[in-house]
Chains A and B, each alone.
Chain A
Amino acid sequence: MAALNDEQTMLRDMVREWSDNESPVTAFRKLRAAAPVEGYDPAAWRALSEMGLPGIVIPEEFGGTAFGYLSLGLVLEQLGRNLAVSPLASTAAAASAIVLGGSDAAKTEWLSKIASGQVVATLAIDEGPVHDPAKITATVVDGKLSGTKAFVAEGDSAGLFVVAATDGLYLVSDATGVTRSPRHMTDSRSHAQVTFHSAPAERLGDTKLTAQVIDRATAITCAEMLGMAEQAFHTTNDYLKTRVQFGQQLSTFQALQHRMAKMFTELELMRSAVEGALEAIDAGRSDLDQAVSLAKAVASDTLHLVSREMIQLHGGIGMTDEHDAGFYIKRARVLETMWGNAAFHRERFARLNGY
């Protein structure tokens, strides 16, 4: 855990308490069964909004708290531990685009609504199943955006889209010319194909802004992955201490102890890499792109390892729908894929370092 100030410690503890009391994994199980159209529980989103969480990366003059990305990461980590479902990550990423590139009018119009939780916003970037900003084809002609975006998170309910076109980022706030087709995914969250037919679009910035916003979205995703990996690991460790085989607790077997020690080691490195990326964004470092690729590659590899081992070390029970392990591995793979998997970010890291 990074060295936190009092404000951050309070924020983390508050969200942790809410997550454990109001949004344990059983809440996700119920939500999956209820399958609301928007993909999340509106009452839970209201509760998070009342805590001011959607405004964490929004300046105070626009109704936010401006606590920064490390703080947002702490929140998402706590929510990720229990697989809480909310449009917080998508909304914050979209808000970052408006903060960085929006006109004064756009900031005034949208940021306070986002900060209060009144508007759910999201990024619409990729056009295929694999993250690749180089393959964007959506275009804007005379302020009208056309193109199809694949697997848009919160695409079922978002009222505001930050959309990537060939020449940069645009804000689409009008439902005119927007059609959504849900895509039901393994993680039971909201993803939709969203098609824009000459939708009115307001320019936010060029492709440099697109890259900056994707970096922020990626770092935010890593924080949720960190919480999931931590919890998957601890659930497994607790299980090994209770399960008896061959007249011994599983946790007494050295072969399993060393696998857990290896995972613990990778988790410590993951935490450093993820917090390092969030801190790099807060500090406005010029090499934050490298820090983000480091974080996403390490986070993807580690969550991949821990989510596989969670099932393996639970044995047969881990394969059942009755157990939570499946929830972790299903969401893990979606987040690993989102904003580029480990291979994508290793390639990008190599390029950024000139080799």
Chain B
Amino acid sequence: MATAPELDVAANPLESFRTETRAWIAANFPPSLKGQDNSMSALEGPGDLSEDEAAWKAAMGEKGWGVPGWPVAYGGGGLDKAQIRVLQEELARVGATNPIGGMGIMMFGPTLLEYGSEAQKQEHIPAIAKGEIRWCQGYSEPNAGSDLANVQTFAEDAGDHYIVNGQKTWTSGGQWADKCFALVRTDKSQKHGGISFLLIDMTAPGVEVKPIRMISGQSPFCETFFTNVKVPKENLVGREGQGWEIGTRLLQHERNSLSGGGGASRLFAGKPMGTLAKEYRGEDEKGRVPDSDLRMRIVRHEMDSRAFALTLRRAAMEAKSNQGPSAATSIMKNVGARITQDRAELSIEIMGMAGLGWEGEGFSEEELTQTRTWLWGKAVSIYGGSTEIQNNIVSKRILGMLDHQ
């Protein structure tokens, strides 16, 4: 990758932005947080923030840099793409991570900015930008997971409000969320056209959550029940019946955030598989991983990972030069999921029994984490549109194949 040429700072606004950014980070980022990633908080709950964490979050929220590209008028940073890149580089330089995240940032905020009324934006966006409000997604139902257009949760028109009844499932972080953006049915006579996009207060009477325990032992998902929940009409986003359009737009944001740069950088974090294998299996007389079958499968995995990294880079460059998304982006979710799962399966195979520990004595922290990572990783080919659904999208939208008649 090309390195930036030396620039005259005074003559280059981007470089003076970098200087200011660096100074601001130095003044506000508590060094104790260096290198700490909060990526597991979505699975294990928010927990209590330390004093430093709270200070860093408040500073970033105040500055609008948790959501650097969002408009200043709603509490965002108002930065352009080049400035955002500088900000990311400067954060990475000192080992700082963005303390503001979650579904409000990844999916709901961008969608509301596009479809929300002025009043809705004023009410919700600044709180998301400061990380004060946690949102959850009320999409899937027991019989409407991949077949999302089949949602049955019903919002009955009761004049100035709706009465909502029904059940959602796979509500990520439902037990910690303040609010829920949901797809509800407002018209039973038509499929897609009968769906509306509604914002529901999770503390409203009639809302109940029940955490779902997963094979990893974690409970990041909930079943969510709505019994005669009263939702004011001003919480409808867009028009009644426009929910499918808004909801699918939101899924594009979800897919982008699941497959984009952030996910990829986590993907390539950690030890190379060859190094891990030598640690647990030793070396043969030629300095190789001794099990030749395992060694070749490690190679296949590493090659797959590198081809994926090159594809991410290519898609970014294509998007930049063509001013639009690359065809390659359609495969990112699936390939990312495949590589994540292959990596976890290979890791526990390499570690043997040590990679299968559940709790207690005799296992390192890394080993126990590996067990959870492996089991949790089974979700990545299911959530955000399963691998099969993504393949349907590729075959129909990209390859022009048709629906079965």
Q: Which residue of A254, A260, A294, A351 contacts B303 across the interface (Cβ within 8 Å)?
A: A294
- Taking a contact as CB atoms under 8 Å apart, the answer to whether B394 and A264 are in contact is yes
Q: Once bound together, how far apart are the Cα atoms of A347 and B272, in whole Å?
A: 17
Q: Across the two chains, which residue of chain A brings its CB closest to B388?
A: A258
* Contacting residue for B335 out of A248, A265, A347, A355, CB 8 A: A265
The stretch of B194-202, B312-320, B354-362 in contact with A is B312-320
Chain B residue numbers with a CB within 8 Å of A262 are 391
Q: Does B239 contact A (CB under 8 A)?
A: no
Q: Quick one: CB contact mask for A2-19 with B, threshold 8 Å, 1 for yes?
A: 111000000000000000
- Whether A248 and B296, one on each chain, are in contact in the complex, defined by CB atoms closer than 8 angstroms, is no
Q: Which residues in chain B, 256-276, are within 8 Å of chain A measured between CB atoms?
A: 272-275
Expressed in whole angstroms, the Cα–Cα distance for A240 and B331 within the complex equals: 21
CB-CB contacts of B377-405 with A at 8 A, as 1s and 0s? 00000000000101110111011111111
Q: Does B187 contact A (CB under 8 A)?
A: no
Tell me the nearest residue of chain B to A279, going by C-beta: B310
Residues in B with CB closer than 8 Å to A21 are none
Taking CB atoms, residues of chain B closer than 8 Å to A4 are: 321
- A294 with B278: CB separation less than 8 A: no
A350 CB-CB contact with B under 8 Å = yes
Contacts of A268 in B (CB 8 A): 311, 327-328, 331
**Inter-subunit contact B395/A261 (CB<8 Å):** yes
> Contact partner of A346 among B300, B311, B404, CB < 8 A?
B300
Closest chain B residue to A349, Cβ basis? B299
**With A261-B391, A294-B306 known to touch, is A350 a contact of B331 (CB < 8 Å)?**
no
**Distance (whole angstroms) from the CB of B310 to the closest CB of chain A:** 4
Q: Chain B interface: which of A60-68, A208-216, A270-278?
A: A270-278
A186 to chain B: which residues have CB within 8 Å? none
Contacts of B302 in A (CB 8 A): 349, 353
Bound Cα distance from A294 to B307, whole angstroms: 8
Task: Assess whether A252 is interfacial by the CB under 8 Å rule.
Answer: yes
Total residues of chain A contacting the partner, CB 8 A: 41
Give Cα A313 to B187, complex, Å. Answer: 43
Say which size band chain B's interface belongs to: 35 or more
Docked pose: A254 CA to B216 CA in angstroms: 32
| Cβ-defined contact, B404 with A269, below 8 A | no
Interface centre among A237, A248, A350 (most CB of B within 10 A): A350
B404 A273 Cβ-Cβ under 8 A: no
| B287 adjacent to chain A (CB < 8 Å) | yes
User: A252-B404, A355-B277, A355-B278 are known contacts. Are A269 and B311 too (CB-CB below 8 A)?
Assistant: yes
B103 touches A (CB below 8 Å) = no
Q: Assess whether B304 is interfacial by the CB under 8 Å rule.
A: yes
Task: Give the CA-CA distance A271 to B308 in the complex, in Å.
Answer: 11
Residues of A within 8 A of B392 (CB): 254, 257-258, 261
Interchain CB contact under 8 A, B317 and A273: no
Chain B min CB distance to A81 (Å): 17
- Contact between B328 and A3, CB atoms less than 8 A apart: no
**Assembled-state Cα–Cα distance A354/B307 (Å):** 19
CB distance from B350 to the nearest CB of A (A): 11
Are the CB atoms of A353 and B272 closer together than 8 Å? yes
Establish whether residues A3 and B321, one from each chain, have CB atoms under 8 Å apart when the complex forms: yes
Per the bound structure, the CA–CA distance linking A95 and B327 in Å amounts to 35
Q: Which residues of chain A from 301 to 355 have a CB within 8 Å of any chain B CB?
A: 343, 346-347, 349-351, 353-355
Tell me, yes or no, whether B295 is within 8 Å of chain A by CB. Answer: yes
B153 in the interface (beta carbon within 8 A): no
Question: Does A241 interact with chain B (Cβ within 8 Å)?
Answer: yes
**Judging by beta carbons under 8 Å apart, are A252 and B401 in contact?**
yes
List the B residue with the shortest CB-CB distance to A1: B318
Judge if B96 is at the interface, Cβ distance under 8 Å.
no
Instruction: Tell me which residues across on chain B come within 8 A of A1, comparing CB atoms.
Output: 314, 318
Known A-B contacts A273-B307, A355-B298; A350 and B404 likewise in contact (beta carbons under 8 Å): no
Interchain nearest-CB distance for A349 vs B (Å): 6
Cross-chain contact A269 with B304 (CB below 8 angstroms): yes
Residue from B288, B321, B335 within 8 A of A350 (CB atoms): B288
B391 cross-chain contacts in A, Cβ below 8 A: 257-258, 261-262
- Check A354 against B314 for contact (C-beta < 8 Å): no
Q: In this assembly, does A251 line the interface, its C-beta being within 8 Å of a C-beta of chain B?
A: yes
Contacts known (A260-B395, A262-B391); A272 close to B296, Cβ less than 8 A:
no
Q: Is B334 interfacial (CB 8 A cutoff)?
A: yes
Please indicate the chain A residues that have their CB under 8 angstroms from the CB of B321 in the complex: 3-4
Q: Are A3 and B320 within 8 A (Cβ)? A: yes
Bound Cα distance A271, B289 (Å): 30
Q: Which residues of B contact A349 (CB under 8 A)?
A: 299, 302-303
A97: CB under 8 A from chain B?
A: no
Chain A 241-253 per-residue mask, 1 if CB under 8 angstroms from chain B, else 0: 1000000110111
Which residues from A are CB-within-8-Å of B289?
Answer: 350, 355
The CA of A264 and the CA of B396, in the complex, are separated in Å by 12
Q: Does A297 contact B (CB under 8 A)?
A: yes
- Tell whether A56 is near chain B: CB-to-CB under 8 Å: no
Do A269 and B335 touch (CB < 8 A)? Answer: yes
A298 within 8 A of B: yes
CB distance from B99 to the nearest CB of A (A): 33
Residues of A contacting B317 with CB < 8 Å? 2-3
Hey, which chain A residues are within 8 Å of B308, CB to CB?
A: 269, 272
CB distance from A213 to the nearest CB of B (A): 23
How many Å lie between the Cα of A30 and that of B296 in the bound state? 42
Q: Which residues of A contact B296 (CB under 8 A)?
A: 343, 346-347, 350
Known: A258-B395, A269-B308. A350 touches B299 (CB 8 A): yes
With A2-B317, A276-B310 already in contact, the answer to whether A241 and B394 are too (CB < 8 A) is no
Convert B212-249 into 0s and 1s, putting 1 for each residue whose CB lies closer than 8 angstroms to a CB of A: 00000000000000000000000000000000000000
21 residue pairs A–B, Cβ–Cβ below 8 Å: A3-B320, A237-B401, A241-B401, A249-B402, A256-B401, A261-B392, A268-B331, A269-B311, A272-B308, A272-B311, A272-B328, A275-B314, A297-B303, A298-B303, A298-B307, A343-B296, A346-B299, A350-B299, A355-B272, A355-B275, A355-B295
**Contact residues of A with B, CB < 8 Å?**
1-4, 237, 240-241, 248-249, 251-254, 256-258, 260-262, 264-265, 268-273, 275-276, 294, 297-298, 343, 346-347, 349-351, 353-355
Q: Which residues of B contact A (CB under 8 A)?
A: 272-275, 277-278, 287-289, 295-296, 298-300, 302-304, 306-308, 310-311, 313-314, 317-318, 320-321, 327-328, 331, 334-335, 388, 390-392, 394-396, 398-405
Knowing that A249-B402, A276-B310, A297-B303 are A-B contacts, what are 16 other residue pairs whose CB atoms are under 8 Å apart, sorted by A's residue number? Answer: A3-B321, A241-B400, A254-B404, A260-B401, A261-B392, A264-B394, A265-B334, A268-B331, A269-B308, A271-B311, A272-B307, A272-B311, A343-B296, A349-B299, A351-B288, A354-B274
The 9 residue pairs across chains A and B that have the minimum distance between CB atoms: A355-B274, A257-B395, A261-B391, A272-B310, A272-B311, A269-B307, A261-B394, A251-B401, A3-B321
